[in-house]
Structure 1
Amino acid sequence: MALALLVLVWHLAWAQEPGCAEKDEQSFLQTLDILDHVEEEACDLLHPKKGLRWTHSKQIGSHTVYAGNLTVPLSPHREDQEDTPYLDLLVIMTMPTSESAASVEPLLFHCGGPGSDATCALSFMKDQQFNAYAGISISQRGIGYTAMPSFECAKEHMKLPPKGLNRSYVISDFTDCACALPDGTPLVGQAFADLDPKNQSSVHRLFENMALRARRCAADKRWVLTGATGKSYNFLDWAGTRMLAQDIEHFREKTCSPKLHLNGMSYGTAVAAVYADMFPERVGKMVINGNMPPVPFTLDFAKGQGMALTQAFGHLERLCVTWTSTPPCNLYSSEMSLSHVWAQLVSDLRAGRITAPTEIHSKGGTVNFPLSIGLVQGYVQEQMISAGFVPVGWAQPVSTLANLANLRGPAARAAEAKKILDRYCVLPSGYGTPWSGVVTWSTYGVCVGQQSVGLSSMSYSSSLGALGIPPYRKNVDGYVNGATVLGQDLFGRFTVDQAVKIWQDFSSVWDEMATSAFVGIFSEIFAWQREAVPVHAGFRQNVRALVVGNLYDPACSYTWSNRMRESLPNSVMMIWQGVGHCLGEGGDYPGSGMKPCLDRMASYWVTGELPIDGFTCRTEEPVPLLM
């Protein structure tokens, strides 16, 4: 609009001058060059080009928060530019009020997942190290409350069956979504499966059902999008991390930002590294913390997940030996290592001896529901991951294992089993419907959860409400996000029989904890139906990044961080000898030794100064066991 108005003013002034017929085309083109320059100067974060529109703003603390819409082509390729469909993505920007728009450089935040959406940027507004930046986050295609289409099943697919049927309940009693898990499939999360991971018939049945789920989900008509000329596209073919990198670059172009700074955690490290691979000249500062593997091979990814947990559990055992007089490790005798406790616990779980009472009654009394090895593994891993965000060390997983091992008595054992079942075997909450938040294991005698029905819980966000946009955040337990994004990113597809043979090899070497984590993630993607568009995370000589890794990260192996450092030859590695997922001040505790790493990370964002390569923060005391 501004350009058109200036052209009109120039044209009127020219037409009124005497001798205007003698003005040549060159003079007109020179003026257009000036106007183009004016237009270019007008383009910035607050005045973007067409395709990015800020629709809401609100002063929150020391920031002005903007929410808007980024319109992107489904296919970014020039061959498809005439007929590609378009997508609208939610974008949130936090702008420090002390800075002018012209002097603020954008910093992209990605909080991991796959599942992080545009609300990620809101989490960093209070961090002073980022005060010189406009923080931005973009909702990945298919992810978040406003996504259209959404990877997750719709709430309209949900239903609540009557109680007291004279048969076992199945997943289809609760949903008719094509991307839900098929009947008979155990609840499966990103790194666990509700089964005995050493039982071949159970694993074989799981792999068969997950292959069926992949076929059904990929065939769902909701993924078919039609372009302007009638050409059809399958949304699942345009949904991986490469497409998110393209969308991030689209944002950069629309705001005329010379570069983007990148801060990625967990899966967000893949987002940042893939963007750096595709657009290396557009990368400013870059921190990748708790890294994904740079080589996108399905089998390596699954093995790495299992082996990361093994390393973390071995460290947990060594810590408990050190803290034998400290609760809850004092519950273990000097001859009773965590490995011995885990072995006995596996035996009890396999025999069905660890249960919790349901609401269901039979002639013999209350019906008890058994806990599985896989759910215990998933729960313990989740507690170990949380040590990266809260300063309690690893007391929680030690206490969980002690309770399940009956070291505090039968009542504590049953209560711990109930806590785990309540965590996973529950329908999505936050929807205000009769089925919302229903605990299935105790009500219906079946473990059906958010992963089973392909729908995550929702939580209310006052920050989003203040912005005037729908005040809800989707959690990431719906499980479809991981399959769709990682299924696009990772190459390597296998038949069910091949998958079983791969499981046999892994299971013959590793214990139940590692094998359960391997089975969970591998089952999700080994038979994904759409073809891969493999990512390359890093592999650029001219990208100078700060790569951060914990030695005992139970989700993203330190090995992955080390390989990410190798893939970025000009980067710098920083290591913490500690525990939990990612390095962050929330996981700091007295004697953690992580403060020098936190200080160097903050200094990098302020001054651009990187630490020496291989700088290591040494733990000063064993990980505390605080409740």
Structure 2
Amino acid sequence: MLSPGRAPLRLAAVLVALVLPVTGCSLLAPGPEPTGLSAGDQEPPPGTDGLERYYEQELDWSDCPAVECASLEVPVDWSEPDGETLEIAVNRVPAKGDAAGSLVVNPGGPGGSGVDYAAAADQIVGSAVREHLDVVGFDPRGVQRSAPVDCVGDAELDEWMGNDPSPDDASERVAAVEQSAEFGRACEETTGELIGHVSTQDVAKDLDVLRSALDDGKLTYLGKSYGTTIGATYAELFPERVGRMVLDGVFPTDLSGIEAAVGQAKGFDTATRAWAADCLTDDCPLGGTEEEVLASVKGLLQELDRSPVPAGGGPRLTEGWASVGIAQAMYDQGMWSMLTEALVAAGQGDGSALMQLGMTYAGRDTSGTYTSNIMEALPAVSCLDDGVDKDPQEWQQVVDEVEAEAPIWGTFLAWESLVCATWPVEPVEGIGPVEAKGADPLLIVGTTRDPATPYEWAVRLHEQIDNSALVTHEGDGHTAYMRQNDCVDSAVEEYWLTGGLPEGGELTCRE
């Protein structure tokens, strides 16, 4: 099972940027300081009476390993600013030269750690940016160091991740509904009141307080994958506070849960076929044609459904864990050869390599410890943002609908979405399409064969926001900036450093 949320594949950039080596570079050399960055506005937005104490706070930076760190106080419930509060973990990697402002970053999820992401500043942004901007990360509420959502213990999470992702008959479908509902109840019981206050809108409001505490009049931002949802939500709620915002690998705010499942399933179908075609270029051990390769994978998953195989001392490799491992490799074409070898080994009874891919996605180490709470934060945020208004007892109809659009991944991703149909907390009212009227120009980046955030979603947001530009990366993998394409990197960094946008509002970068 890839993740228990209605948008189960929104993580991506965390794994691409922090697990894999990143070797992208910029065509820009360190040079003049950024122009036009605004600073100094600490007033709360209009209509936010009672929030002054949050907007007026100052960050007390202390030394942490390789970075500076601090905490930010925000209300648990933004409608009750005098009620309970929580602490948001923040870190900063200072600019190598004179800082002209801050670049706040988020890698995706929901559930990805911005603190961990910012700590890798030299790998996630180019040298010119490092010279002139402080890189600032934060763990969104409910994530890792910021009052983390908690549902079950590590052993139970292993079982949850390994659950059957393709129920075959009525009894298995009933079991899937029961497991889903039980997981949601555990999240509500263990996490408590916060479970109803981890929506993306809550996070965007926290982000505006962070902007103020950084003494930045406008927000300079990099959001990847779900991080684009945070950024777009911020732009809609606080358009006058938007500075130079880059949204790379767009997950739109106006998708329904079922639309998300269909879009991502189609994206993963495209990526999987691209992997199969790539395998065939060098004596592929899984078949002689694209369809034979895909059939081999399907046959392996069916066999694992019947009989899991050993995986090196951890949980046995089930169909669920294997599917997670395959999906992990779709995020970056640099992992495709590793995936092929892992599939061959699993077919021979050794599931350790494919299990390692799955554990990497889930944030689980070989000792059985989950090093982050991403698998628990993801459904908590996703289901609160976009509840699924479908009868869980009739879920097979949803599965059929998604599978018709995406025959390779449709069944898997449709069943992954079930948890939001049984989630115990009512969703918040969404913000719908983003217009960001009055915002400074935004830069949107989309990759044509992105598995998790289809390119069409970047176009969709670009069309919603009149004051935006679009960079199209013609290529594979999830997200584009700092992933070995100088054209993309230069466009992004020129925007941050000078405010310059592609001529005519659109730019195509090829591999």
TM-score for the superposition, normalised by structure 1: 0.65
Q: For the Cα contact (< 8 Å) 1:198–1:507, is it kept in 2?
A: no
Query: 2: distance between equivalents of 1:281 and 1:512?
Result: 43
SS of equivalent residue, structure 2 residue 89: strand
Of residues 551, 561, 574, the one that matches 2:458 is: 561
Corresponding position of 1:582: 479
Q: Secondary structure at the match of 2:94?
A: strand
* 1:142 maps onto 2:142 in alignment: yes
- In structure 2, the gaps of 5 or more residues are 1-38, 44-53
Shift of 1:240: 1.1
Aligned position for 2:327 = 381
- For residue 485 of structure 1, what is the aligned residue in structure 2? 381
Residues 1:210 and 2:180 are matched in the alignment = yes
Q: Distance in 2 between matches of 1:42 and 1:377?
A: 48
Aligned residues between the structures: 454
From 395, 402, 415, the equivalent of 2:337 is: 395
Deviations 1:353-402 (A, max 9, x none): 87535899xxxxxxxx9754443332122112133xxxx36323344445
Structure showing greater relative contact order (alpha-carbon pairs closer than 8 Å, 6 or more residues apart): 2
Please, which of 347, 350, 360 is the counterpart of residue 299 of structure 2?
347
**Residues 328 and 358 in structure 2, CA contact (< 8 A), matched pair in contact too:** no
Identity rate of aligned residues, in percent?
Answer: 21
CA distance in 2, matches of 1:99, 1:480: 39
1:54 matched residue in structure 2 = 60
1:609 aligned to 494, 500, 505, which one? 500
Distance in 2 between residues matched to 1:349 and 1:121, nearest whole Å = 37
Whole-angstrom distance in 2 between the partners of 1:57 and 1:344: 52
Q: Partner residue of 1:437?
A: 367
Per-residue deviation, 1:93: 2.1
Structure 2 residue corresponding to 1:151, chosen from 149, 152, 173: 149
Counterpart of 2:161 (choices 171, 187, 196) is 187
Kept after mapping to 2: 8 A contact 1:195/1:375 = no
Contact 1:285–1:545 (CA under 8 A) maintained in structure 2? yes
1:116-515 correspondence runs (5 A): 116-125=113-122, 127-130=126-129, 131-144=131-144, 146-148=145-147, 150-153=148-151, 174=155, 186-187=160-161, 194-196=164-166, 201-220=171-190, 222-223=191-192, 234-321=193-280, 323=281, 326=282, 329-331=283-285, 336-351=288-303, 356-357=309-310, 371-387=317-333, 392=334, 394-404=336-346, 413-415=348-350, 417-421=351-355, 424=358, 437-438=367-368, 457-458=370-371, 474=372, 476=374, 479-508=375-404, 510-515=406-411
1:106 aligned residue (102, 108, 115): 102
281-290 vs 343-352, greater mean Cα deviation:
343-352
Could you tell me which residue of structure 1 aligns to residue 418 of structure 2?
Answer: 523
Contact 1:197-1:515 at 8 Å conserved across structures: no
Matched, 1:618 2:510: yes
Unaligned runs of 5+ in 1: 1-39, 159-173, 224-233, 361-368, 407-412, 431-435, 439-455, 459-473, 589-593, 620-627
- When Rg is computed on C-alpha atoms for both structures, the one with the higher figure is 1
Amino acid at match of 2:81: Q
Aligned-partner residue type, residue 137 of structure 1 = G
Q: Which amino acid aligns with 1:135?
A: V
Indicate conservation of the 8 Å contact 1:384/1:394, yes or no: yes
SS at match of 1:396: helix
Counterpart code for 1:96: A
- Matched residue SS, 1:615: strand
CA distance in structure 2 between the aligned counterparts of 1:344 and 1:59, rounded to whole angstroms: 46
> Residue 574 of structure 1 aligns to a residue in which SS?
strand
Distance across 2 between alignment mates of 1:75 and 1:503: 35
Alignment match, 1:91: 90
Matched residue type, 2:421: F
CA distance in 2 between counterparts of 1:517 and 1:511 reads: 11
1:6-45 paired onto structure 2 within 5 Å: none
Contact 1:109/1:121 (8 A) holds in 2: yes
- CA shift, 1:609, in A, is 0.9
1:524 Cα deviation from its structure 2 partner:
3.1
Shift of 1:218: 2.2
> Counterparts of 1:358 and 1:70 in 2: how far apart (Å)?
42
AA in 1 matched with 2:161:
L
- Inter-partner Cα distance in structure 2 for 1:73 and 1:373: 41
Distance 1:372 1:211 in 2: 21
C-alpha distance 117-278 of structure 1, shift in aligned 2 (>3 A): same
Letter in 1 for 2:240: E
Deviation per residue, 1:515-541 (Å, 9 max, x gap):
213322x02322222111224463224
Distance 1:87 1:573, change over 3 A: same
